Structure 1
Amino acid sequence: MAGGTDRAVLCPSSTGSSDPYCIVKIDDEAIIRTATVWKTLSPFWGEEYEVQLQPSFHSISIYVMDEDALSRDDVIGKVCITRDMLVEHPKGYSGWMSLSEVDPDEEVQGEIHLRVEVLGSQGSRRLRCSVLEARDLARKDRNGASDPFVRLRYNGKTQESTVVKKSCYPRWNETFEFELAEPAGEKLCVEVWDWDLVGRNDFLGKVVFSVQGLEAAGQEEG
């Protein structure tokens, strides 16, 4: 991968500057973290790296971060270099590239294993959701992992699982039940979050179920 610098329009923090560094990811796997350049809106890193790209890779993403000693580091923006872009520049590319804004919903990755079913007879039915495990979740913490938990929302009520510390492959094996709404027009929303002791929790992704469709099937797992 050719070395180069990215021009960043950095947003100053309360101190009037930022403490930027870069994270380089290949297909959502972080492989490089640059040094932090302290108290500047015009950073220069001058660092070069060589990495082996697998033939099946899709993209290289370079995130510009603002380091914060007291809370979660902020994402200033990112540059995404696709495999097709590299094919167009077989000798490499060096130049200015504009940073794009990071949408948390676009950063979602991974899968969650659920079992959802309708129990009981007419008049006293329940919606049961078993949260089994997840895999390949996004890494949101400095230790290269996340502290994931699951939040379930249905018919105005919310329940949460326990937090699994330092894991992108958590296992919960927890079961939750809700009183089934009549008619069952509400949707069941299963959200995955990264718990943070300081600052706000990070969104990792969600799955939404149509309970009306579930009633016909009786149970879904996958």
Structure 2
Amino acid sequence: GKSAPFCICEIRGKPKTKCTTRHIDKTLAPAWNEEHEVPEYERGDLLDFAVMDYDVGSSADLLGRATLEGRDFDHADGFEGEVELHDCGDKPATLKVRIRVLLPPPEEPRASVPGSRLRVAVVRAGGLRAADWDIRGSSSDPFCKVQIKGKDASKRETAWIGRTLEPVWNEEFEIDDYATGEDLEFTVMDYDRASAADLLGRVSLAARHFDRAFGYAGTLKLRDCGAGTPSTLTVRVEVLPPLREGERVAEPGCVLR
């Protein structure tokens, strides 16, 4: 028999560092060739790997696990090689990995000052899962929400686009009341007239990535988007100076008198 293996990697005791490969169907020798950045590493941390068998109808089965100690990779040459898997049954199994410790980038001057605003462009998403099925086939009706983490009043959302897994919005928003160090949250949803919207993926963008002179422009990997679905979201974020005294900006729904 064959499996549909995928691999989970995380720093022990730090569940937010978990990263997962896609699953590969019907193989006992998967080659993922995927690269992930694992944040929050501190000297002495243990790195845990678990190879799992993906199953649509039930929870994944363990195919093997391994652990690397910091001393194995926390040096100039890093680590590249095969590690022996445990809890994998009677048959010996290995996992080939490559690890490098990346130094944190030097701190850049913050672009924000008290009263700063954000200009956020939600450009496009790619590789979304299908949430709707009808006689025409499977698809989704995606839209994207963005807000400053913990500030519901800052929430903005794009229009929804019908029947696509590769939506292009190219919508831009200005968000007031940004304070230095606040992160942004993006959530891609499937619009449904008859019921609540379904989650297609989400991602957070830390302030350190956009609160700088040139802001941020790039493609983010979505999480919570379904096993084996490598979904992405492309955005641009820029920090704007505070409005000058007496300067006003119209918002949707304003009334003129």
TM-score when scaled to structure 2?
0.41
TM-score when scaled to structure 1?
0.47
